[in-house]
Structure 1
Amino acid sequence: MHPIFSSNRTLLSVAILWSLLCCLIAFLLIKLDQQGHGALLITLQTLPLYGLLLFFGASNYYLCLRLPLANTPMPVLLVAQTLAAAITIGLWLVVALGWNWLLDQMSFQHAEAMYFDLLIANVLIALVLYVVWILVHYAYLGAKSEEHTSARSLEHQLLIKSIELEAIKLTVHPHFMYNSLTMVANLSLAAPEKIHDICVKMSDFLRYSVTYGKQDKVTFGDEITHIENYLSIEKERFGERLRVNMAIAPETLDKPTIALVLFPLIENCIKHGIGSQFEPGFISIAIEQRETLTHISISNSFDPSGIKPRSTKLGLSSLEKRIAYSFGPGAQMKVTKQPGQFMVELYLPALSQNPISLTGG
């Protein structure tokens, strides 16, 4: 729908302004009339036809919508708009000729002759008005695009805050801290020599989550080290129940990515997979380069009949929004659930210039 029809108030305002413009054009044509056709005849010709030109010119909005300034080559834009102007004004002149013929039949003599006398003036005025319509449409679409960008920016800022809160919840999860501290307490009795190593890994894990999570971008190597620390802690807790298989292509380690892109997936594997089964389970992590895309595949076993915590799916949803914003429209997340196995795949192009961080930077 054209913006002028978006509300009755807008339509009324445009109608009033356009009516004043039509009166001004009629006055101008009366002044330009050198054949003495008379003010009444010129007014009867001008007001209806230029009122109709409002809708003829407004139709250009849809062409401007299809040919945005930012994405259309200038030669294509000029040719398309010129052709549209010629067709629109040509049709309008045909209607004008019919209207003048009708006036002639209504005993307004010389109406058709007046049409040809004022033809050049009408063509020039119509062309100017059509160009004005083009400028108005592009200005409106530009303002609308900027408003949409601002709205998206606000949405992203809200998303950032939501992600930041979610990251804090995941990083300092009460159950994770409780389980880890309980494990350390048990190790102090059974294997005190392991405590130092576990505490260092916990410290590195928390430091990365808090410090690196605030950076715009990190490398996949950083992310791998982070989840290795996390999995080392969990492996000490689950023992032989947790098997981890990693296949990381060396060329992907230095590639930039957003912080904490892997941790929500690995945490999900532990929380809803390994933690739900009594038999030994696995987590498989694979990262490889596929032409222009970095492919990440993380899968885990799970027991369909096991006891699982309630899932809000906020972690996967937030991650999907983060990668869509940071990596662009080429980023994809694919979730596959098979009997006894859950897999998430990420297809990530090169990181954009404005990646999303957990502090809104």
Structure 2
Amino acid sequence: MKHPILSGSGYKLYTMIWFVVMTAHGSVLYFYYDFSMAIAVGDSLIYNLIFGVITPGLWFIVTFGSLNKDELSLIGTHTGAAFLTIVVWLSLSSYSLKLIFAAESAYLQFLTDSKIWRMIIGILFYSISVLIFYLIKYYQDMQKRLNRELELQNLLKDSELRMLKSQINPHFIFNSLNSVSALTISKPENAREMVIKLSDFLRYSLGKENSELNSLEQEINNATLYLDIEKVRFGDKLRFEKELAAECANVNVPNLILQPLFENAIKYGVYDSIEPITLRLTCERRDGMLQLQITNSFDPTSITKKGEGIGLENVRKRLALVYGRYDLLEVEQGEKDFAVTIKIPVDEAN
């Protein structure tokens, strides 16, 4: 635990405080008691300088005394420390001043007569110093707790993000391998092409495993690679269009954020459809947000597959973890199309 005076720039404020105390002390002796300037400055300097040198050591009493949970022991510790501090302070100060001003009989008598109120001032100095140190210690302990909580929250957030991302690839890989297995018999060349594209896709995905954000341009390239893999399976039944504003490309988005949305569109739009299905990606900046929308047409006469909504919920949770907001994903279903819109705060993404 850092010493509030001996580490950092705390000594500057500490010196300033004692300078004010010395000035007030010397002024009282000079203007009220009519002592000479030399006596007023000497008395103020010696007494306050010695206590100022002793005070930093009280921090260690506060720090180690706090380890003792017994209140009576703590009171006893401070009582003994206060007694020892004041005795040492008064003894050294009086002895030094008697040597310096040995010829000033009136001042020497004043030193003797003022022992009681100097002792009271010493108790006040000790109490104020200890109280301030306790407040500083409480603040430092609170900051440590807040930092530990923040570290734990970040670890939890990273763990949850990794868990959510880990749900993406296995699901897609299993589907792709099943398709490759089927194509090896009916269309071997298509199976070979699908394996190559799948290899490229996994190389990209694994390469981005440890980074949370990626440029939208790279994410779209990766999503396009994913769609190319699916086109090997579905052929002309799957169509893809995109319309992107020029200012969208370099904005950072959570990596692998588009693939689950395309996977969801294919699962619920392409699988059961007889007619060609078009997936459309649009992007624009609006109201301080990057708005990405993936729309897929579907055959309303086909039997819709029932799912658990894992893909959309995965994306929703990841956006909430990265940006701390739960309103960044919207879903809208029309008579013949299904649209998912995600919003990326531009200031946070760049």
TM-score, structure 2 length as denominator? 0.56
What pairs up with 1:188-337 in 2 under 5 angstroms? Answer: 200-213=196-209, 217-239=213-235, 241-275=237-271, 281-290=277-286, 293-301=289-297, 306-311=303-308, 313=310, 315-324=311-320, 326=322, 328-329=323-324, 333-337=328-332
Which position in structure 2 is the counterpart of 1:170?
171
Which position in structure 1 is the counterpart of 2:341?
344
Partner Cα distance (1:292, 1:16) in 2: 60
Answer whether contact 1:171 1:209 (CA < 8 A) is retained.
no
Could you say if the C-alpha distance between residues 15 and 187 of structure 1 is closer, same or farther in structure 2, counting changes exceeding 3 Å? same
Could you say if the C-alpha distance between residues 332 and 133 of structure 1 is closer, same or farther in structure 2, counting changes exceeding 3 Å? farther
Task: Output the amino acid matched with 1:145.
Answer: L
Query: How many correspondences in the alignment?
Result: 256
Partner Cα distance (1:306, 1:19) in 2: 78
Answer whether contact 2:82 2:123 (CA < 8 A) is retained.
no
Q: Structure with the greater relative contact order (CA < 8 A, sep ≥ 6): 1 or 2?
A: 1
Paired-residue identity, %: 22
Q: CA deviation at 1:21?
A: 4.7
Is there any run of 5+ residues in structure 2 with no aligned partner, and where? Answer: 1-65, 91-116
Could you say if the C-alpha distance between residues 129 and 275 of structure 1 is closer, same or farther in structure 2, counting changes exceeding 3 Å? farther
Which position in structure 1 is the counterpart of 2:21?
none
Partner Cα distance (1:345, 1:198) in 2: 29
Partner Cα distance (2:75, 2:274) in 1: 80
Q: CA RMSD in A?
A: 4.3
Partner Cα distance (1:146, 1:154) in 2: 12
Is there any run of 5+ residues in structure 1 with no aligned partner, and where? Answer: 1-9, 35-115, 354-361
Partner Cα distance (2:73, 2:303) in 1: 71
Q: CA deviation at 1:158?
A: 2.6
Answer whether contact 2:215 2:251 (CA < 8 A) is retained.
yes
Secondary structure of 2:308's aligned partner: coil
Q: CA deviation at 1:144?
A: 0.7
Partner Cα distance (1:29, 1:203) in 2: 75
The structure whose Rg is larger is 2
Which position in structure 2 is the counterpart of 1:70?
none
Partner Cα distance (2:72, 2:303) in 1: 70
Answer whether contact 2:291 2:344 (CA < 8 A) is retained.
yes
Give a deviation string over 1:147-178, Cα, whole Å, max 9, x none: 11331243244335424532331341x22321
Task: Output the amino acid matched with 1:158.
Answer: S
Could you say if the C-alpha distance between residues 204 and 331 of structure 1 is closer, same or farther in structure 2, counting changes exceeding 3 Å? farther
Partner Cα distance (2:118, 2:195) in 1: 94
Could you say if the C-alpha distance between residues 307 and 319 of structure 1 is closer, same or farther in structure 2, counting changes exceeding 3 Å? closer
Answer whether contact 1:331 1:347 (CA < 8 A) is retained.
no
